[in-house]
Structure 1
């Protein structure tokens, strides 16, 4: 399997996600009559999840598997990655054209089924491997599989015409929660732990087990945070609070583990590599803090009651935390030459993502008083153009390292 090709292709898909973002923000700021915003939003979100994030995780997970189990045949994974890419581009074009209809639903189903097959194949090939990252990858794939139940439930309600607003939101948040907080986050922690092991700082089995189960149970029960607006018994709410506190303790444990081994990272990692880890780690810490705070009913009502706040939170997790971490992991594979232009593109991307989050956060705060920020749409358009250009620079600068 050509690892560098598929990783670079993932970055190209990230560029396409940014391009869709520019188109949508241009339509908000100005006029673009031939673009249906709702269709573009569906294309943007589906392609971001499958064409960019999932594809990058699949490729990086296969590279990891090849390192820890050299006897595994990686050819079958190439076919699965190709199937996911075909389904992703199918969703990109069909959702952009007509939103939800039989063809876009068909490509979406292919992507989901491909994910099922990838999860089963990875689980089978990982048997017998004793490595701290394996539970995290398997846990992430488990959440990826169960997240699809939310999509299937939406499809069922649509087909039987039993859709209600509450059940629509509950199913949508179910899918998003187990993708964001399950599949994506758990996979990233798996990559981080293996990277720490490579620099001579492996996590102990005992610490890893405690950390994993705190995060796993916290994620499983933590779905309740997304539906606190539903009527639920007091004991269920108490269980959700306990699970959220447990996940917060797990996040602190992860931070302390990295802090304890920071000297090794200083010796083995480049300054930029360390900075991006701090950058994405800050976003992860903010996510955990907001998650803990959302147990307060007033905070939860505010978070889900204002669209700008929801968008700011989703971008915080997907862009500032997960996307930057994955870009960092792609560069850390040592498959590419780290050039000045590549580093410049990365710095511009980090700046663009930070400015994007800052602007969305400010808009969210001003939403409390229903005040609009002057030229907010134009500012977000400029920021999205900055991210688009930075990703183009990164993509063009990705040159495969020649074997010595």
Structure 2
């Protein structure tokens, strides 16, 4: 039985829909009394969004691009099914108990599922594909996924020894998020993009491709230090973190310059809609990198640590903007979903409105200003546009071509 990639993506989108609705519910906590534990819902929302949506979408793409023609469907299907057990387990246990025995068991099993997939991928990709620059990005992405898992493992030890109030508890969470977002997700998106170029015989300069890969990887590693600045470490870490931020911008500049030279060929590869989506993701990524670089300066690092809305806004900018819109672009390109202009616009408006409102609240708190009446209701209403767009996307997915 052949793997139905479209169905797997529809499952990933359904998880995203659940996470988005939970996000709306979380917004309504500031509007009305809801008889549910807020922290438990936050855990559910974040785990299902990052692991249910992004992880499944990326691993489905990785399998389709590199392994789908190698008669490995049965082995991959076993990994996929085991992953579903862990995700459904988290979806059912986190809202009821938060971090407790069964939710920890399922989230731990997910880590083993990711190890299983990484081992499966590394051991089965043909040698000919391993020579591609896109594969080097993919390999780096998967290594970052594995490295990020050190954070959750460390959390258990820290909770039982130093306690949740320890800075090491927060550092373990930031370690996990940094290498998950900036490593696994962003590098995988770069890898998919390069795979498309290579598949269409759009050759970039080998020298600049190597520079890009070295710069982006070194930048990702060094910029982790920006996540430690809330603990007031030695200024040297600000410097290392700043170098990491600059290296990521430089790497993106190298790639952007190479793509500009091949603009005409790229226009023939992507549809006009996909080109607009690609440019949108590029702009969002540049803003994301600049915001990250700002925190190398102590004043802005303290600002981000003091006003949580800035951190939430940055994380949502990365996840809902760069990562999700990047995935929409590639899933549409490979015909795993069909995104209409209206649906993408509805999603983007919801994303942009919520980001403006979140950063507005942070700026107001920073400047000692009062926020307008009904702010929480407006934010909750704006947030509803995102699951509405996803609902339309999932429903439309029923009529997409099976791949």
**What range describes the TM-score normalised by the shorter chain of this pair?**
over 0.9
1:370 maps to 368
Greater displacement, 366-375 / 315-324: 366-375
Aligned mate of 1:357, from 355, 358, 361: 355
1:275 maps to 276
1:40 maps to 41
Whether the aligned pair in 2 keeps the contact of 1:147 and 1:175 (CA below 8 Å) is yes
- Mapped to 1, the partners of 2:402 and 2:220 lie a distance apart of 42
1:346 maps to 344
Over 3 Å counting, the alpha-carbon distance change for 1:164 and 1:21 in structure 2 is: closer
Q: CA deviation at 1:214?
A: 0.7
Greater displacement, 224-233 / 103-112: 224-233
| 1:205 maps to 2:206 | yes
| 1:262 maps to 2:263 | yes
Q: CA deviation at 1:281?
A: 1.3
Whether the aligned pair in 2 keeps the contact of 1:345 and 1:393 (CA below 8 Å) is yes
- Mapped to 1, the partners of 2:304 and 2:264 lie a distance apart of 38
1:28 maps to 30
Whether the aligned pair in 2 keeps the contact of 1:147 and 1:176 (CA below 8 Å) is yes
Q: CA deviation at 1:225?
A: 0.5
Over 3 Å counting, the alpha-carbon distance change for 1:343 and 1:231 in structure 2 is: closer
Q: Deviations over 1:330-368 (max 9, x none)?
A: 111124556xxx332122111211112122122222121
Gaps (5+ residues) in structure 1?
none
Over 3 Å counting, the alpha-carbon distance change for 1:241 and 1:143 in structure 2 is: same
- Mapped to 2, the partners of 1:289 and 1:336 lie a distance apart of 31
1:238 maps to 239
Q: CA deviation at 1:211?
A: 0.6
Q: TM-score, normalised by structure 2?
A: 0.93
SS of 1:228's partner is helix
1:382 maps to 381
1:53 maps to 54
Q: Deviations over 1:316-340 (max 9, x none)?
A: 00001101111221111124556xx
Gaps (5+ residues) in structure 2?
none
How many correspondences in the alignment?
397
Whether the aligned pair in 1 keeps the contact of 2:202 and 2:265 (CA below 8 Å) is yes
Over 3 Å counting, the alpha-carbon distance change for 1:300 and 1:402 in structure 2 is: closer
Q: TM-score, normalised by structure 1?
A: 0.93
1:92 maps to 91
Whether the aligned pair in 1 keeps the contact of 2:87 and 2:106 (CA below 8 Å) is yes
- Mapped to 1, the partners of 2:132 and 2:89 lie a distance apart of 36
Q: Deviations over 1:71-128 (max 9, x none)?
A: 3523222221222222112111211111010000000001111111111111111251
Whether the aligned pair in 1 keeps the contact of 2:5 and 2:402 (CA below 8 Å) is no
Q: How does 1:104-253 map to 2 (within 5 A)?
A: 104-126=103-125, 128=127, 129=129, 130-253=131-254
Whether the aligned pair in 2 keeps the contact of 1:194 and 1:202 (CA below 8 Å) is no
Whether the aligned pair in 1 keeps the contact of 2:145 and 2:184 (CA below 8 Å) is yes
- Mapped to 2, the partners of 1:23 and 1:337 lie a distance apart of 28
Q: Deviations over 1:9-30 (max 9, x none)?
A: 1111111111111111122222
Q: Deviations over 1:202-226 (max 9, x none)?
A: 3333222211111111111211001
- Mapped to 2, the partners of 1:332 and 1:89 lie a distance apart of 29
- Mapped to 2, the partners of 1:351 and 1:264 lie a distance apart of 30
Q: CA deviation at 1:231?
A: 4.8
Greater displacement, 100-109 / 144-153: 144-153
Aligned mate of 1:13, from 15, 20, 41: 15
SS of 1:300's partner is helix
Whether the aligned pair in 2 keeps the contact of 1:21 and 1:384 (CA below 8 Å) is yes
